[in-house]
Structure 1
Amino acid sequence: MILRRSPDHRRARQLAASPRGALPEGALRRYLAQPFPPLGADHTSLRLLAVDLETTGLDPDHDRIVSLGFVPVDGTSIVLGGAGQVVVRGSGGLGQEGVGQSATVHGLTDDAVAAGAELTDALDLLLEALTGRVLLAHHAAIEQGFLDVACRRVHGQPLPTLAVDTMALEHRLVTAGWQTGWDREPPQGGLRLPAARERHGLPRYRSHDALTDALACAELYLAQVAELGRGRPVTLRQLTKGG
């Protein structure tokens, strides 16, 4: 199953609909006030936001976001005019020791991160872009986990998300066809973003830049939908539940 929501998504949406004051006006309230697209919507009309986060590690309870990038996808079009990227500096005492060894992955130095935006501003920028859209990411659980923890720290509330995971879609595609020489399952690393893009004939991009990876994910998604649908519309339900 690729459908993932925060366990507290009903409570969060109730807060958005409750009388003024329960949840302050702002990006989170506007995000929560908009329902997710219906599961019956097909991909030609679906509005998504491809998101990538660069972090200091893989544990959202102990590591932090150092940059985020996003690119809207409207139907079968990537909307570069709506793309955005921001470097995020540490806040609340978390990660004040610097980016550590993660700099060798994402290339952001302590000085670059120290000059970045506050987490509150970066999160609100992303929430504005994500409002009314489905989150699209490669191994989406990582983005969902970090964004949920960030929202709890900044706003004291969980962040419900509905996500399409291009890694899970790729697993479905390659195991359905059993690639030549594979024993039912992809080889180690065979589902990573560069490998998945290569299988679809997409160009190779530099990895671990948040905006570039978000764009790479968006392009991969369009190639996957074309293969899944074979010229026919694919519903959000199919994209999120494997149907």
Structure 2
Amino acid sequence: MRRIFNHFHPLNKLQRERERYLSTHQVPDNIRALLEAPLPGLDDDIYSLDYLSLDFETSGFNPKTDSLLSVGYLPLINQQLLLSEAVETLIHTAKNVKAETAVINHIVPEMLEKGEAWNVVLDTMLAEAVGKVLIVHGSIVEKRFLNHYMAKRYKLPPLPLLWVDTLQMEKSLHIYKGSNGTDDFRLGSVRERHNLPEYSAHGALVDSLATGELYLALLKQHFEGADSSVRHMKFDYTRAL
């Protein structure tokens, strides 16, 4: 019976999706390396996994009309965020920068003129993601822009990657606790509820660090005194939005 349950576990279904993806599509070596990297085993401990905490700053939510402005990420290994390996890169584009987003992320067209090409930035990020689970807070933006990139750059459909979404983890925790007091799930607000320090700056690297810290705090909330094996973790398996 356990073997049957394991077969239909979403993580094993994701593995089969990766195998179908590789057999169906012609993929470059960098994407093949990403999809051939082993997924976590169901009996692995959540705390032992390798993660990449990630954030995209954009001028809006629609990659067809808006621009990717910057990408920030850093590894989370052995429950430690590796600041020495943190990366934040501006994207070389002066299009579609909006006043309302510039007020938030302080990115203006003049800064982007010295940025790097999006294919260099995103391919470098994907190389760093090999063998890691991606951590985001609200995965809509990152997935949409990454899906758009794969279609434009490689003519490929969305990648079958493994994500954890701290926004969804917080919502799940609220449901479990029967909390009805708030519908504010912004990163800063969620961090405040978990007694994490406020970060005044707003940018891709700061938000990826803030998300990684939040993830560690949420893990303790979800798994304190409980079985922390991978089979009990609610990963985010969706690809297209």
Question: Shorter-chain TM-score: which interval?
Answer: 0.7 to 0.9
Determine if contact 1:43/1:75 at 8 Å carries over to the other structure.
no
* 1:33 corresponds to which of 33, 36, 51: 36
* 2:97 corresponds to which of 96, 99, 106: 99
Determine if contact 1:56/1:63 at 8 Å carries over to the other structure.
yes
Q: What does residue 67 of structure 1 align with?
A: 70
Change over 3 Å in CA distance of 1:40–1:149 after alignment to 2: farther
Flag structure 1 segments of 5+ consecutive residues without an equivalent.
17-21, 91-95
Q: How many Å apart are 1:225 and its aligned residue?
A: 0.5
Cα distance in 2 for partners of 1:234, 1:207 equals 33
Q: What does residue 117 of structure 2 align with?
A: 118
Q: How many Å apart are 1:241 and its aligned residue?
A: 5.3
Q: What does residue 208 of structure 1 align with?
A: 202
Determine if contact 1:136/1:166 at 8 Å carries over to the other structure.
yes
| Number of equivalent positions | 222
Q: How many Å apart are 1:210 and its aligned residue?
A: 0.3
What does 1:3-152 correspond to in 2, within 5 Å?
9-14=18-23, 22-25=26-29, 27-90=30-93, 97-101=95-99, 102-152=101-151
Change over 3 Å in CA distance of 1:152–1:56 after alignment to 2: same
Query: In the alignment, is residue 169 of structure 1 matched against residue 163 of structure 2?
Result: no
Q: How many Å apart are 1:112 and its aligned residue?
A: 0.8
> Letter of the aligned partner of 1:139 in structure 2?
G
Q: What does residue 218 of structure 1 align with?
A: 212
What TM-score does the superposition give when structure 1 sets the normalisation length?
0.81
Stretches of 4+ moved more than 6 A in 1? none
Q: How many Å apart are 1:10 and its aligned residue?
A: 5.0
Change over 3 Å in CA distance of 1:234–1:120 after alignment to 2: same
Q: How many Å apart are 1:142 and its aligned residue?
A: 2.3
* 2:234 corresponds to which of 212, 221, 240: 240
Change over 3 Å in CA distance of 1:66–1:195 after alignment to 2: same
Sequence identity (%) = 30
- Give the structure with the higher percent helix: 2
Q: How many Å apart are 1:217 and its aligned residue?
A: 0.4
Q: What does residue 183 of structure 2 align with?
A: 188
Deviates more, 1:40-49 or 1:30-39: 30-39
Cα distance in 2 for partners of 1:113, 1:153 equals 21
Q: How many Å apart are 1:59 and its aligned residue?
A: 1.6
Cα distance in 2 for partners of 1:108, 1:39 equals 41
Determine if contact 1:40/1:235 at 8 Å carries over to the other structure.
yes
Determine if contact 1:139/1:168 at 8 Å carries over to the other structure.
yes
Instruction: Give the alignment's Cα RMSD to 1 decimal.
Output: 2.5
Q: 1:100-152, CA deviations, whole angstroms, 9 ceiling, x for partnerless residues?
A: 22212211110111211101100111001111111110012321221111122
Determine if contact 2:67/2:95 at 8 Å carries over to the other structure.
no
Q: How many Å apart are 1:11 and its aligned residue?
A: 4.5
Q: How many Å apart are 1:14 and its aligned residue?
A: 2.7
Q: How many Å apart are 1:82 and its aligned residue?
A: 2.3
Deviates more, 1:29-38 or 1:62-71: 29-38
What TM-score does the superposition give when structure 2 sets the normalisation length?
0.82
Change over 3 Å in CA distance of 1:39–1:147 after alignment to 2: farther
Cα distance in 2 for partners of 1:11, 1:145 equals 22
